Every structure is written in C-alpha cells, then in structure tokens.
Amino acid sequence: MKNNMKKQVVIGALVVLGMTFFNYSKAGNEQRAGQAGASELLINPWARSTGWGGANTGGARGLEALSLNVAGTAFTKKTELIFSHTNWLAGTGININAFGLSQKVGESGVLSLSFMNMDFGEIDITTVDLPEGGIGTFHPSYTVIGIAYAKEFSNSIYGGMNLKVVNEKIANLGATGVCVDAGIQYLTGLGVNKLGKKIRDNLHLGISLKNWGPTMRYSGDGLSFRGNVPPNDVVMTVLSRSADFELPALITIGAMIDFHLGTKVDTAASKISSDYRLSFAANFTSNSFTKDQYHAGLEFAFREMIMLRGGFVYEKGLFDYDTRTTAFTGPTAGVSIQIPMNKEKGSTFAIDYSYRATNPFNGVHSIGAKITL
C-alpha cells in the first residue's frame, strides 16, 4: 500500500513538473535559436554516454547520468569516481575537463558532486586600431559545478535533482548563474524468462528536465570604454549595460530495453546468467532555443567487461549542408573496457572512449576513467 502511494505521488509530481516546464520553456521553437546563452550547459562531457548519442535517458546509471537524467545516479551502490577529457571540435584548441564523485548516503539516497571546465586557450587581444593583435592575450573559460541528490523510491522508481552553478569569464567580463535539473526513471519489464518468471528489469523509461533557472547577465570592466561625449566633446569613461540572457532549457523523454543473449539456466539454484547483452535506446529532446532532436543508439556488452556502442542524433535539416545549423553530422561511437577489481564488493575500473562526427572540424573525442568501489 505504501509503495503504491509512493508511485502515485512520484508519477503525479512528474506529470505536473513536465506540464509546467513545457509552458515555461516554449519548447521546440527553433526560431528562438541564438537567444539563449550558457550553451556549455548542453555539453555532455562523459565518454560512456556520448558513445551512443546520449540516447539512454531512460537507462543511464551512475555518474554519467548527471548529464542525461540525474535520477540514474540513484543506482550507485557505494562510491563512484569519474574523470573525463574531451577534445572539443578537434583542431580548434578547445578542451573540456570533467570530474565527478558520488556517494551512497543512507539506505536509498545518493549524493553527487560534479565539475566541468571548458578551456579555450590563449586568444590574441585585438582592437580597432590593432586588428592583428600583438598587445597580449586573454584566456576565456566556462565552468559548471553541480551538486545532486537522487533517491530510490521503490525497486522501480528513481528520482533526483541537480543544482548547478555556471560561470563564464571572458577577459574583463564575467557572468554567473544557477539552474536546476530534475529527472525520474521507471524500471519495469517485458516478457518471461526461461524459468517461466516475468522479467522485471529490462525496460527503462525516463524523463529529464534540464537547465531550468533565472536569466544571466555579464558585468565587469570590459563593458566600459573611453570616448568623447557631445556636445563639448569631453573625454570620459562610458559604462555599457549587458542585456539579460536566458538559459538553454530542455526536456528529454527516453526509453531503453535490454536483451540478454545466450542465457544459461541453473535450474537447481533457480538462476539465469548471460555473457552477452544488447541494449537499444531512443530519446526525444525538445529544446527551448533550437531545433528538437531525436537520439537513437545501441550497446553490445560481453560479460559487462567489453562494451561497444553506436548512435545517431538527428535534427531538422541535418542532411542538407545549406540548412544544417550544427557542426555535428549525427554519427557517434564508443567503447569501454571494464576490469573487475574485487568481485565480492563489485568494485571495477573502466576506461571509456567516444567519438562524435562533425563537419567542419575533426570531430569530438572524449576519453575517461571510472572507478566503482
């Protein structure tokens, strides 16, 4: 009775939150493209989930879920650490470094911390009089810090929220803002196993709301300049004002299904095991300030030690170079090698790699390491 009440409360809250967010964000309006800032909030820095196009909103688990559906962090058994480095749009000199830590608290809660920094390198300072530079450089950087809490409400419903602080620095200018992510995952099953029992954990459903927060505004000495003020042509410092800009809010709905191949049955112990897993996932993302996106991906795993992934991300006009409004061309791929460190405790060490195709530039390459204790 109590579990049924929990399910009704969580599902009801999800419906209300989703309807509120749709009204707030006016999602899917591509004519508003360019009106939002803080686009780094749209970047997923983790190699494992980007390898299949970020399609697993319904089934993302562990720290990678922070960029897709924070509810997935509730599956953390004890402690997770993750590191990632991304060569963003290879050839531009832009690099992204990310770190995450999650810790189980209590019987069903998980607390997570995350940090992402986008480094643009040194850029020459130019002026109207010196368009070629030669007077120094500046070093822009974007930073996103998050603290998240997720909880297992029952053996089928998981939910979470992520509070993020975003900071942008460009020479003598800066802007800081806050936003919230929220998500829910629902775990259920389809079919019957070889023991004649109903499968209860092979279908994953999820919904995620991201980047919901107040506007941001730049401030700093970079908005001031020396100029002549009429009518007396007096030289003085003029301070400009920066306009507010909104955050790139979005909502994603997704599903994932697992197929365990080559299953082995231990009738005496009433257990079923499998060396192979094939998972299919799909998402629909409704963006507030750009085109809607459709994600599809698959993952093949051998003994959960070697995992191969592929995916595709589609949006309107993607196949026409003249109308395409993104550098990404759709295909993604990735691989993970996961080594057990302690089978009794379930601790593992994994290396992840992903590639996202772009035109122009030479793609996006991400490599990461994950430790599960």
Q: Whole-angstrom Cα distance, residue 106 to residue 50? A: 31
User: Is residue 178 within 8 Å of residue 189, measured between CB atoms?
Assistant: no
**pLDDT-derived band at 24, boundaries 50, 70, 90:** very low
Domain boundaries, the chain: 2-215+250-372
Say what the pLDDT of residue 51 is.
96
Q: Whole-angstrom Cα distance, residue 156 to residue 185? A: 8
**pLDDT-derived band at 43, boundaries 50, 70, 90:** very high
Q: Using the predicted structure, report yes or no on whether residue 339 has a pLDDT greater than 90.
A: yes
Q: Whole-angstrom Cα distance, residue 223 to residue 82? A: 38
**pLDDT-derived band at 26, boundaries 50, 70, 90:** very low
- Mean residue pLDDT of the chain comes to 89
Residue 231 tokens, joined = 């009518």
Q: Whole-angstrom Cα distance, residue 146 to residue 45? A: 13
Say what the pLDDT of residue 8 is.
59
Average pLDDT on 319-324 reads 88
Say what the pLDDT of residue 64 is.
92
Which range, of 9-13, 133-137, 214-218, averages the lowest pLDDT?
9-13
pLDDT tens digit sequence for 282-299: 999 999 888 999 999 999
Q: How far is Cα of residue 83 from the mean position of the Cα atoms in its chain? A: 14
- Ranges 226-235, 257-266, 278-287, 338-347, most confident: 278-287
Residue 276 tokens, joined = 């192979």
Task: For the chain, give percent helix, strand, coil, nearest 5.
Answer: 15, 50, 35
* Strand locations in 79-202 (E): 79-88, 94-105, 109-119, 123-124, 137-138, 141-152, 157-170, 173-188
Q: Using the predicted structure, report yes or no on whether residue 279 has a pLDDT greater than 90.
A: yes
Average pLDDT on 65-91 reads 96
Say what the pLDDT of residue 5 is.
58
Classify burial at 143, counting beta carbons within 10 Å of its beta carbon; exposed 0-12, middle 13-18, buried 19 or more.
middle
Q: Whole-angstrom Cα distance, residue 282 to residue 255? A: 6
pTM as predicted: 0.89
Q: Kindly state the percentage of the chain with pLDDT values over 70.
A: 91
Q: Using the predicted structure, report yes or no on whether residue 196 has a pLDDT greater than 90.
A: no
Q: Kindly state the percentage of the chain with pLDDT values over 90.
A: 67
Q: Whole-angstrom Cα distance, residue 135 to residue 155? A: 61
Say what the pLDDT of residue 142 is.
96
pLDDT tens digit sequence for 160-191: 999 999 999 998 899 999 999 999 999 999 88
pLDDT tens digit sequence for 92-107: 999 999 999 999 999 9
**Higher pLDDT pick, 240 / 293:** 293
Q: Whole-angstrom Cα distance, residue 300 to residue 261? A: 10
CA angle 345, 350, 351 (to 5 degrees): 170
DSSP for residue 35: S
Say how many C-beta atoms besides its own lie within 10 A of residue 350's C-beta: 19
**pLDDT-derived band at 15, boundaries 50, 70, 90:** low
Say what the pLDDT of residue 53 is.
95
Q: Using the predicted structure, report yes or no on whether residue 71 has a pLDDT greater than 50.
A: yes
Classify burial at 252, counting beta carbons within 10 Å of its beta carbon; exposed 0-12, middle 13-18, buried 19 or more.
buried
Classify burial at 165, counting beta carbons within 10 Å of its beta carbon; exposed 0-12, middle 13-18, buried 19 or more.
middle
Which range, of 26-30, 97-101, 107-111, 341-345, averages the lowest pLDDT?
26-30
Whose tokens are 């003029």? That residue is: 238
Classify burial at 364, counting beta carbons within 10 Å of its beta carbon; exposed 0-12, middle 13-18, buried 19 or more.
buried
2-215+250-372: CATH, from 3.30.70.100, 1.10.10.410, 2.40.160.40, 2.40.50.140: 2.40.160.40
Say what the pLDDT of residue 200 is.
83
Q: Using the predicted structure, report yes or no on whether residue 27 has a pLDDT greater than 60.
A: no
